[in-house]
Amino acid sequence: MRSFAVALLLLWATSGGAQEARYLIRGGQLPVDVSANGYVQTVADAGAGAVEVEVTAAASPIASTGTYAEIKAGDGERVPAGFLLPGRLREALTPDLSAWEAATRVLEWSARHVVVDSDDDQPQDAISVLARGRGRCSGIANATAALLMAAGFEAITISGVLVGDRGSVPHRWVACRLPGAGWVHTDPTLGFWVVTSRHVAFAEAVVQPVEVRVLSSAQDTIDRLPRRAGRPVRPDRGSDLICRVVRDGGNARATAVITGGGGDSYQQLLEPEGRFTALLPGRWRLVVTADERVVEDRELILRAGETHSYTVTLPAVRPHGGAGS
């Protein structure tokens, strides 16, 4: 069972616009292995007190299940006595919502009411940060996790570093358990359900300087995500595209290729149809070829949770030397 679960988590993290990065880290505290929906981190001993860390972050749809009514009916975690959901947020979390939508509304409320202030030297506990409406990354993570727990979700804060062009800085973000999807990481300072391969998780808060050398890196996939309230959001549901061909005589071999704005590309042989699943919503280019001839080339807009169908008619191919040659 464990090997199956790990394989599934790796599939979540490596499909649909995944980005990978490798780092050599030494000194002080060391990172840990993580397997989550859309975020996988593996750590290997590199000798001389160093470890090699590989981080894979995916922008693929989350694919959670269940409703918020089921979350409220469960025995989820609760924050300490005295911490209550703000009234308007509580009213917005209606039982008919999906669990993902309810949790996303919590993230959205936090983003609207708490701003990042890296110079904030006040206490960073959830109650203090929410009262001030500002905090460092640690305070915002504490506040967001507390709001999620008060809403009935399991949530924790994740400590680590964020690797940039000029080294690494201590950072903190959040992980929330969504039904049917497992733990999903989200950085409230970036967007909703968004982390990158620059996020390196540690077992405890980073308090000592960490030496990080970038062995390989990848371009962030955040710009390819749809946006919500002006911020990138990793969607719960992807888009499906069914492409089929109708032949007007002949038996040409047809192939469909779709390419996303970030360079994601997938190919299907059409016999007579092919299905592309769990695609990121947004703009895609569809090219259909038959016997190496382009017979269709168009742009499509795919929407989350919808199945789109497109039919291409293949023209009859006249033999060389026939009429009209």
Tell me: the pLDDT tens digits for 207-233?
877 899 999 987 777 877 888 889 999
Q: Measure the CA–CA gap between 55 and 168, rounded to whole angstroms.
A: 15
pLDDT above 60 (res 320) = no
- pLDDT tens digit string along 113-146? 999 999 989 999 998 999 999 999 999 999 999 9
Domain ranges of the chain: 2-232, 239-314
Q: Is the pLDDT confidence value at 262 over 70? A: no
Residue 324 has pLDDT above 50, yes or no: no
Q: What is the pLDDT of residues 146-184, one digit of tens each?
A: 999 999 999 999 999 999 888 899 999 999 999 999 999
Gap between the Cα atoms of 155 and 143, Å rounded: 11
d(CA 254, CA 265): 17
The fraction of the chain above a pLDDT of 90, given in percent, is 57
**pLDDT on residue 78:** 67
pLDDT score of 76: 57
Domain 239-314 has CATH 2.70.70.10: no
Q: What is the pTM of this model?
A: 0.81
From 237, 280, 236, select the one nearest 262 (Cα to Cα). 280
Q: Is the pLDDT of residue 77 over 50?
A: yes
- Outline where the chain has alpha helix (H): 2-14, 68-73, 87-92, 99-113, 126-132, 137-150
CATH among 3.40.30, 3.30.70, 3.40.50, 3.10.620 for 2-232: 3.10.620
Task: Tell me the average pLDDT of the chain.
Answer: 86
Question: For residue range 293-303, what is the model confidence (pLDDT) as tens digits?
Answer: 899 999 998 88
